Amino acid sequence: MICFPNAKINIGLNITEKREDGLHNIESVMYPLKRIVFDALEVIEASPLPSPLGREPQVKIHTTGIRIDGNPENNLCVKVYNLIKKDYPQIPDINIYLHKVIPIGAGLGGGSADAAFFIRLLNDTFELGISWGEMHHYAKQLGSDCSFFVSNKPAFAEGKGDQLESIQLDLSGYYIALICPDIHINTAQAYSGVKPKKPERSLENDIQKLPIAQWKKYIHNDFEDSIFLKHPELKKIKKKLYSLGAVYASMSGSGSSVYGIFKKQPGVKKKFPKNRVWEGALT
């Protein structure tokens, strides 16, 4: 069985306070890019092996596309398998095949999407009967963004980004241009450049009540101030998207991707020859 984990963007991102555990509380609206950029994820039951008492469950991940550095055992999909296997021991040994397209370290939630979709993929493939509530419970143990991708619908995020509330935000009829330069931004370093502060306005209300044409004035990503100083080319991309007709443009998450929302098909790929660019209709 195969699925296609999609990316997301952040529309507005307020870093409100630093927590006692060293992490940060945020406010942001997350919006899925269901038909714009996505990975491919497949699970296949492994050939049966002898199962002596005490043998560790076997899971192997095979990756193509964008290179994923680090120990494969630390991949979130492998962690999903090991986590769910404890509660559902009937899951057999498996092979995971992941074709990586969503850029890494770009603020698009690609790893989190893979993890959340893999929870659903295991559930469907092996008919585990895991409820939506249980899926969210597993996802929260894996990362701040993971729970969002279980429902994969527009949501207002608080806390570490894992406290989610569905919101009425429909951008169908608009188009997006997503620009991804070859820059990897470390999330921890990005947070170190921001001074948390309480927002003066309600992001949740502004997103739902203001016309998109007014978002530019009131909705901001707090990471941009420090990240743009270190990587001025990102600021130039945002400025260029506005010059090309975007009604709203922003960096997503802690970067490095920058997107523009347009009223009509933007057709900007040739304007950013040095970057990866995705364009399409929002849903």
Cα 279 to Cα 28, 108, 264, distances in angstroms: 23, 15, 11
Q: What is the DSSP letter of 125?
A: H
Measured torsion, CA atoms of residues 113, 119, 124, 130, in degrees rounded to the nearest 10: -130
CA angle 244, 249, 254 (to 5 degrees): 135
With a CB cutoff of 8 Å and minimum separation 6, the contacts of 41 are 2, 3, 4, 5, 77, 96, 97, 98, 99, 114, 117, 118, 121
Domains within the chain, CATH numbers bracketed: 2-166 (3.30.230.10), 175-281 (3.30.70.890)
Strands (E), the chain: 2-3, 6-18, 24-38, 40-45, 59-65, 94-100, 155-158, 163-166, 175-180, 248-251, 258-262, 276-281
From first to last of its 283 residues, the chain has per-residue pLDDT tens of 899 999 999 999 999 999 888 889 999 999 999 999 999 999 999 976 655 555 677 899 999 999 999 999 999 999 999 999 999 999 999 999 999 999 998 999 999 999 999 999 999 999 999 999 999 999 999 988 999 999 999 999 999 888 999 999 999 999 999 999 999 888 888 898 899 999 999 999 999 999 999 999 999 999 999 999 999 999 999 999 999 999 999 999 999 999 999 999 999 999 999 999 999 999 9
* Active centre residues (catalytic): 8, 145
